Amino acid sequence: MKTSTLALLCALAIPAMTLPVSAQQVGDIKIEKPWSRATPGNSKIGAGYLTVTNTGSAPDTLVSATTSASDHVEIHEMAMKDGVMTMRPMAKGVTVAPGKSVNFAPGGFHMMLMGLKAPLKQGDKVPLTLTFAKAGKVDVTLDVQGIGAQAPGKQAPAGAAPAGHMHKM
C-alpha cells in the first residue's frame, strides 16, 4: 500500500472513531441526539433534549431522569394554551407509543436540570440517566451546544435572542 493511500485511510478513519455515539438503546427504547444548551452566567437551570423512539409493540413511559450535574431533573412540557405559552411538569412522565417517537426539543417536551452545580459550557458532556417504566435505565450524554442552539450543531444567528425559555432562580 502506498504511503499516500495509507495516510488518506487514516485521515478518514480518525474522525469516524471520535464521533459521539448517535444512539443508545435499552429494551425497545432508542435514544438519539441527546443535547443541551450552554447556560448564561450563574444560571441554576439547564435543559436537556433528545429523541425517544419506541421500537416495540407496547407503550413505555419515560418516568424520570437524573444527572450528577444538577440537584434534580424534572420532565416538562411547554405548549400553547389559549394563545399563551404554558409549561408544566409531567409528574407521570411521558409515554411513547409503540412504533412512535417523541422529540424533546425547545418549545415542547424537555428535561429541566434544576440546581445546576456548575454552568453548562459549550463543548461540555453532561451524563444523564433516563428511567423507563418497562425498559429500565439507559445512560446518555448530553452534548452541550451554544446558548442559542436550536438543535445539535445548529446555532442561532448572531445577535438573535435565545429561543425556548429561560428561568430565574
Q: 0.85 cut: is pTM over it?
A: no
pLDDT confidence tier of residue 22, bands split at 50, 70 and 90:
low
Query: Does 36 fall in a domain?
Result: yes
Instruction: Say which CATH number the domain at 102 has.
Output: 2.60.40.1890
Query: Does 153 fall in a domain?
Result: no
Query: Residue 147 corresponds to which cell in the numbers above?
Result: 446558548
Query: Does 12 fall in a domain?
Result: no
**Residue 79, Cβ neighbours under 10 Å: how many?**
12
> 62 pLDDT exceeds 60?
yes
Query: Does 3 fall in a domain?
Result: no
pLDDT confidence tier of residue 81, bands split at 50, 70 and 90:
confident
Q: Which residue has the higher pLDDT, 71 or 8?
A: 71
Residue pair 25/92 in contact (Cβ under 8 Å)? The answer is no
Query: Residue 68 corresponds to which cell in the numbers above?
Result: 450528577
Alpha-carbon gap, residue 153 to 158, rounded angstroms: 15
Give how many domains the chain has, as a whole number.
1
Q: Structural domain of residue 46, as residue ranges?
A: 23-145
Residue pair 22/43 in contact (Cβ under 8 Å)? The answer is no
Per-residue pLDDT of 96-139, as tens digits, reads 999 999 999 999 999 999 999 999 999 999 999 999 999 999 99
> 3 pLDDT exceeds 60?
no
What is the per-residue DSSP string for 59-113? -EEEEEEE-TTEEEEEEEEEEEETTEEEEEE-TT-EEE-TT-EEEE-TTSEEEEE
